[in-house]
Amino acid sequence: MSLVAFAILAGLILAGALVVVFSSNIVRAAVALAFTFFLIAGLYFMLGSPMLAVVQFAVNAAAIPILTLFIIMMTRSRSVRPASGIFVLVALAVVIAFAGGLWAYLGAAETQVFPVSPEGIGLRLLSVTLFPFEVASVLLLLAMVGAIVLARRVEE
Amino acid sequence: MSRMPLPLDRHIKPKLVGYDPTRPRPGVERLAYTLFFGSLWALVVVAYGLVPALFRSQGWLDGALGFFFYAVIEALLAFGIAAVVALILIVVLRKYLGKVQERVGPMHYGPAGVLQTVFDALKLLGKEDFAPANVDPLIFRLAPAITFVSAFLMLVAVPVAGGWVMADLNVGLLFIVAASTLGAYGVVLGGLAQGGKWGMLGAFRAGAQLVSYEVPLALALLAVGVYSGSLRLSDIVEHQQGLWHVVPMFIPFLVYLVASIAELKSTPFDLPEAESELIGGFNTEYSGMSFAFFFLAEFVELFLLPALVVVLFFGGWHGPLFGLDPASFAAQALQSFYFLVKTAVWVWIFMWIRATLPRFRDDQLMDLAWKGLLPLALFGLILAAFLRMFVEVV
Amino acid sequence: MIYANLSYWIPLLPFLGFLMLILLGPLFRGRLSGWFATLTMALVAFLALGLLAEALRAAPQWRLVGGEVELARGALSGFPFRLEWPWLSIQGEAGISLTFYIDQLAALVVAMVAVASLFIHLFSIGYMDGEARYPTFFAYLQLFTAAMLTFVMAGNFFIALLAWEVMGLMSYLLIGFYYKKKTAQAAMKKAFLTTKLADLGFMLGLFWLYKELGTFDLATVAEKAALLAVPVASGIGLLVFVAAIGKSAQFPLHVWLLDAMEGPTPVSAMIHAATMVAAGVYLTGRFYPVLEQGQALGYVAWIGGITALFAAVLAPAFADVKKIMAWSTVSQLGYMFLGLGVFGWAAAMFHLLTHAFFKALLFLGSGSMIHGSKTQDIFEMNRLGRYMPWTWVTFAVGALALIGVPPFAGFWSKDLILDVAKEHAPVLWFIGMVAAFFTAFYTTRMFVIAFHHPSLPSPWKAAAWNKDCPELNLKAGDCPPDPAPEPDHKPHESGAEMIIALVALAALSLIVGFWGSPLFGQSLLLFLYPGEAPEIIPASKLFGGYVIGTLVALAGIAVAWGLYARDPLKQRAPLWLTQALQRRLYIDEFYYRVVAEVAQWPTKALWLLDTYVVDVVVDAVGYVTMITGQALRYLQSGKLAVYALYIALGALALVFLGGARW
Amino acid sequence: MITLGHYLTLSAVLFAIGLFGVLTKRNVIAVLMSVEILLNAAAIAFAATAAYRDPLFFSGQLFALFIIVVAAAELSIGFAILLTLYRHAGSVSTDVIEEMRG
């Protein structure tokens, strides 16, 4: 039962990702990206971490594609030109090698999922990983300031 | 209310004897609104109380099939609630705007025009769903659907009474934030898909506005979460047992109120559609069912955002129970009644704001979000943490 | 023990004063910074005198009985005073501790430095008034004093070396205080390089000493000196003595001191007369056990004797009052080394003390003369004795002390040294006597011309050989002679604080000599008496020496008076001799032209090596890099995707090669 | 039953797809979207491994959270650069940023 659900979910995720990569219409690609991320949030639900799922939903599935759409609008780009054929073949070879290389390590057969409560993550986040947490906040601040500075029109 | 002379040649005289469309009929209207409210309440009681109780008592929920059916039925009921709310609110809003603007509003379909929406819906369903030539058909169709789904998603998390909630998420507050962010998709995609200038401008405005106001909104919600110590909405409501959050959390309340009106894209924040400037903005090219979805979504949100105000700040379902056992069915029904009443009051306030205030300029809009609300929301967050640590524990 | 326990404040206070002035100097208005520094020094002098009194009480008491020294009472417990703080200890080992070691000598010299420095400060308040960098000047003085005091009190040679180097730096800064003058720039470099070259000997000697004895500690070194092999001890001793030669401006490293007179007139000059140059003598005194073990004292004595004579002979050829004084300093320091070299340890230290005071007096007096008459040339000074009575009196006291006329300070100490020399090295005694004659000669010449003659056109300013400055390696235009004042100018007496300083130092010059004189039982010498040393000579034996010394001095005075009272301008010596003397026997030029050239030979060899070996290698590396870069630039296609591909390939390599395992 | 291997396989394939996108796209926006897929694939691997193997510390989930944070930061900066690029060159194709060619 759950395997069926997983299969459907995984299939849709992969399909969405493929659309992102292969669609020549960039708006569709962005929508597919949102769709893929939305389904990945479902994956996190299955992994017993609603917290992660909702964060994935709010940030990756909602905010980031909207930002992407915004940029698409601002730069008035619509279509994606494909790369030259030879390069596509090279990339394909690399990708296959990559997937194959990763495949070699995929023998894990654990079956039991340990769910995690939001409180657990929160406590953990603010105790052991407090320093990375603070660093992340600084990173976000820097990103914010950096984005403003970069995107600001320089007035002559 | 003044009587307005109507040109006879544009007016089909109704068949009903003695009916005069120019004459207001407050008695009929009140009766109709009461009936609307009652039917909504009945639907809520059925969806939240009767059906789960039935399934639970028969033990159907244990089997996979029973659970599947339960889920389907609940989803349909939720959709039904959303549809009913939208249908009711459309006519109520039109009537109310009419009253504010000193006219009678819709009067022709149903007694005193109370069935107007039904005919509106029929008209929209009957119209050709037209898509201009240069649009991306997939995105064009997807946009209204996403809009409606995002509004509908929030409904799932709202608790209407003690134990009466469709999905009691332990991250409900974050879920609300996420779902409301999703609402921006429909607008942006809708504007983007049309390929026209109005749509594009509307999409720009909507995207900027929704994303900007998302930030203070989320911070205000977070303040409530910090203060009540839980992200679960029913816990937040329980936490207001003694004192409604509106008192200690007044600043987040204000922020949330303004930001949710902005999320609603209604006046004074209706820049994305702004008929006088953008001919409808992101929904310029929509017609028929697609337009109806946008429309529905808007009115479902007009119900849900006030409902969240009630849940987060005005004690949710809390009210006098007259000695009833809070776990009993009757008490829960009463609680859902309180909840709906409070929500109705807040819906009215939202309508009132919409009817009276003029529209912002877009730079004022941004200033308000980033320079006004954001610092206020941050202050509210700190205040909430302070209260949580030093006042409430003592 | 109160003062001994407080003694670390003695160097610390001027250091704090330095920090204060260097950081907040611009906030001090007018003369405030000078008064601040002087007040600090007054405090330090108070502490130092207290320390000396304490040391006098606590030191072992010797008695002179029938020409033999015998111990009346041993040292009190806790003497010599010792303060110690752990410092530079590495991983719990003892390392090098910060030690202050105050025995009789240190207490005496600390008091001397503190008092002399106090009067320098006091004098400078008036003298430096109106200078642009007034607070900075006092800050330098403070740090200089702090370093000198640290050096004197240092309980181990490592600390001493640090303080020694700080002194070198401050000397450099003070000489170059008027750094806009070309001559000052050249002089500061010259002084710095000369003394640094000498310091190399100090460092090498210290490291060698540490290798042999495993300690830097002063007292331990003195105890263990006897364990050193004779050649080793003489090697170490001579290396350290090189540093002393450099610092104390002994032949052949005397060249810097004369040019150090480029610093602000009385003060930096006085430092280069009374305190800093004394450090070399002090250091040699501290290394005495090692030198003695190494049987190297003969070199010390000969260097001292030669320098004493050499400088005294050169001095009469100069017309600049400060330069005469500088030669005099070199000469007197030579006496001290002479005394050290002929086992007259305590006598040399006695002379160190008296010389500090009367030379400080003379320098401040000459500063006052320069201040009053606006010239440094003795010929151009206009009957100063008439216009500057205070300066005249005090300068006369200083001059008599320098000449060695009884009962002034120099008389007791110099003749004691000469007596010791007569006992151990008659040749050196004779040299010392000749030098004493010349000392009297040049002092009288200077005194007569400056104080009693109306102003004259300076005879040497116009001389062809004085047009440029070969001794500073400068060209003609870079060192213009100072402008002469009006022919009949009216000098004026200096301000009150300057006169107070002069009078105080004059009084000290008069008094201090008695402390070591036979009249008072040579009590200073007994105080300093290190044990078995032969320089305590019974008064009866001393008498003959004193008579000869006085006669020689009077002869010098008489000759100078006879030659210069009438006609100072008359050219008596052959012109080539005058030129040679004024060119300082061409030693400076020899250094600049020949030694510097020779010293550059290895440099040039290295330059060739650098050009034809190192550069080729470096260039080859550059070319290889460039060619490789040229080849590899095709990898940098500018296409984003290609870069991403490289990243992916790298990651792929990690996946396959890294061997990540479950 | 679903095993950890299922998730990791999904992650690997997703990663490969994203990598292909990064390599072949010419539009910088599309490249950035593909990078997002890469990051999410990694996050899935982290979260899944933690869910199956790390019941006490769930470090993987935290890693996934940080990945989301980093992704957001990266994207905002990336888009800001993109916007500047667009103003500078009038296009967001990788063809216009070949000034670094050796």
- Residue ranges per domain, chain B? 22-126, 133-394
Element (H, E) at C9: helix C9-24
Interface contact D89, partner A, CB < 8 A: no
Q: Which two tokens stand for residue A47?
A: 């992994």
Beta bridge partners, C63, equal C70
Looking at residues A37-59, what average pLDDT do you find? 87
How far, in Å, CA of A77 to CA of D29, rounded?
9
Are C240 and C354 part of one and the same domain? no
Looking at residues C327-352, what average pLDDT do you find? 89
Q: Is residue D102 part of a domain?
A: no
Measured in angstroms, the CA of A98 and the nearest CA of chain C are apart by 6
CB proximity under 8 Å: D 16-55 to A:
16-21, 23-27, 29-30, 32-34, 36-37, 40, 43-44, 47-49, 51-55
In this complex, the residue of D30, D68, D91 whose CB is nearest that of residue A26 is D30
Are C304 and C284 part of one and the same domain? no
List chain D residues with CB under 8 Å of A116. 51, 58, 61
Q: Which two tokens stand for residue B244?
A: 């409604």
Please check whether residue C148 is in contact with residue C15, taking contact to mean a CB–CB distance below 8 angstroms: no
| Cβ-Cβ contacts under 8 Å for B235 (sequence gap 6 or more) | B228, B229
Contact A61 B64 (CB under 8 A): no
How far, in Å, CA of B170 to CA of D35, rounded?
31
pLDDT at A82: 65
Q: Is the pLDDT at C404 greater than 80, yes or no?
A: yes
Please check whether residue A50 is in contact with residue A121, taking contact to mean a CB–CB distance below 8 angstroms: no
Average pLDDT, chain A: 82
Interface contact A81, partner D, CB < 8 A: yes
Q: Which two tokens stand for residue B205?
A: 């405005």
Phi-psi region of B364 (alpha: psi -120 to 50; beta: other; left: phi over 0): alpha
pLDDT at C533: 53
Residue the block writes with tokens 């002087």:
C38
Q: Is the pLDDT at B15 greater than 70, yes or no?
A: no
* pLDDT tens readout for residues C553-607: 999 999 988 888 887 777 778 888 888 888 888 888 888 888 888 988 998 999 9
Residue ending a domain, choose from A57, A80, A103? A80
HSE-CB at D15 with a 13 A cutoff on CA atoms is: 25
Looking at residues C51-77, what average pLDDT do you find? 81
Is the link from the previous residue into B268 a cis peptide, with omega within 30 of 0? yes
Name the phi and psi angles at C83, rounded to 5. Answer: -115, 135
In this complex, the residue of A40, A106, A111 whose CB is nearest that of residue D40 is A40
Q: Give the alpha-carbon dihedral of C656, C658, C661, D1, to 10 degrees.
A: -50
How large is the greatest C-alpha to C-alpha distance in chain D, in angstroms?
Answer: 54
Q: Is the pLDDT at B60 greater than 80, yes or no?
A: no
SS (H, E, C) C407-454: CCHHHHHHHHHHHHHHHHCHHHHHHHHHHHHHHHHHHHHHHHHHHHCC
Look up residue B392 and give its DSSP letter: I
CB proximity under 8 Å: C 586-645 to A:
641, 645
How far, in Å, CA of A61 to CA of A37, rounded?
5
**Coil, strand, or helix at residue C63?**
strand
Beta bridge partners, C100, equal C83, C154
Q: Is residue C475 part of a domain?
A: no
* pLDDT tens readout for residues D35-77: 899 899 989 988 888 888 888 878 888 889 899 989 989 888 8
Count the helix, strand and coil residues of chain A and give each as a percent rounded to the nearest 5.
75, 0, 20
* pLDDT tens readout for residues C411-429: 888 888 888 888 888 899 8
pLDDT at C41: 92
Range of the domain at C620: 593-658
Residue ending a domain, choose from A35, A57, A80? A80
Are C134 and C167 part of one and the same domain? no
Measured in angstroms, the CA of B50 and the nearest CA of chain A are apart by 28
pLDDT grade, residue C18 (50/70/90)?
very high
Range of the domain at D26: 4-97
In this complex, the residue of A54, A65, A67 whose CB is nearest that of residue B174 is A54
Interface contact B185, partner A, CB < 8 A: yes
Are C578 and C648 part of one and the same domain? no
Measured in angstroms, the CA of D6 and the nearest CA of chain A are apart by 8
How far, in Å, CA of C285 to CA of C152, rounded?
11
pLDDT at C123: 86
Where helices occur in C477-595 by DSSP H, the ranges are 496-515, 523-528, 539-564, 575-582, 587-590
Residue ending a domain, choose from C279, C294, C309? C294
pLDDT at C626: 92
Domain total of chain C: 4
Beta bridge partners, A25, equal A79
Q: Is residue D71 part of a domain?
A: yes
Residue ending a domain, choose from C259, C294, C329? C294
Are C551 and C408 part of one and the same domain? yes
| Cβ-Cβ contacts under 8 Å for D94 (sequence gap 6 or more) | C639, C640, C641, D25, D26, D27, D28, D31
B43-57, B344-358, C473-487: range with lowest mean pLDDT: C473-487
Write the single-letter amino acid at A15: A
CA C46 to chain CA centroid, Å, is 24
Beta bridge partners, C156, equal C217
pLDDT at A138: 92
Are C597 and C649 part of one and the same domain? yes
Look up residue B75 and give its DSSP letter: H
CB proximity under 8 Å: A 53-112 to B:
53-55, 57-58, 61-63, 65-67, 69-70, 72-73
Are A76 and A122 part of one and the same domain? no
Q: Is residue A105 part of a domain?
A: no
Q: Is residue D23 part of a domain?
A: yes
Q: Which two tokens stand for residue A97?
A: 């090698």
pLDDT at C662: 40
HSE-CB at D97 with a 13 A cutoff on CA atoms is: 19
pLDDT grade, residue B394 (50/70/90)?
very low
* pLDDT tens readout for residues A64-122: 888 888 888 888 766 666 666 777 777 777 777 777 666 655 666 777 788 888 888 88
Residue ending a domain, choose from A80, A106, A140? A80
Query: What is the gyration radius of the CA atoms in chain C, in angstroms?
Result: 29
pLDDT at A156: 58
pLDDT grade, residue C659 (50/70/90)?
low
Contact D102 C640 (CB under 8 A): no
Beta bridge partners, C99, equal C84
Q: Is residue D18 part of a domain?
A: yes
pLDDT at C489: 75
* pLDDT tens readout for residues B319-370: 888 877 878 888 888 888 889 999 999 999 998 988 888 888 878 888 888 8
Measured in angstroms, the CA of A72 and the nearest CA of chain B are apart by 9
Look up residue C62 and give its DSSP letter: E
Domain total of chain D: 1
Are C258 and C207 part of one and the same domain? yes
Looking at residues C614-625, what average pLDDT do you find? 93
Q: How many residues are there in chain B?
A: 394
Strands C61-65 and C68-73: antiparallel
Q: Is residue C520 part of a domain?
A: yes
CATH of the domain at A37: 1.20.120.1200
pLDDT at B176: 85
DSSP string, C64-129: EETTEEEEEE-PPTT-SEEEEE--S--TTS----EEEEE-HHHHHHHHHHHHHHHHHHHHHHHHTT
Average pLDDT, chain B: 81
Looking at residues B264-278, what average pLDDT do you find? 73
List chain A residues with CB under 8 Å of C655. 98, 101-102
pLDDT grade, residue C147 (50/70/90)?
very high
Beta strands in D1-102 (DSSP E): none
Please check whether residue C155 is in contact with residue C219, taking contact to mean a CB–CB distance below 8 angstroms: yes
**Coil, strand, or helix at residue A25?**
strand
Q: Is residue C242 part of a domain?
A: yes
How far, in Å, CA of C86 to CA of C224, rounded?
22
Contact D16 A47 (CB under 8 A): no
Beta bridge partners, C64, equal C69
pLDDT at B3: 62
| Cβ-Cβ contacts under 8 Å for C444 (sequence gap 6 or more) | C399, C403, C556, C557, C560, C561, C564
ipTM of this predicted complex? Answer: 0.70
Are C368 and C438 part of one and the same domain? yes
Residue ending a domain, choose from C264, C294, C324? C294
Residue the block writes with tokens 């870079």:
C478
Q: Is residue A108 part of a domain?
A: no
Range of the domain at A144: 117-156
CATH of the domain at D88: 1.10.287.3510
Contact D97 C638 (CB under 8 A): yes
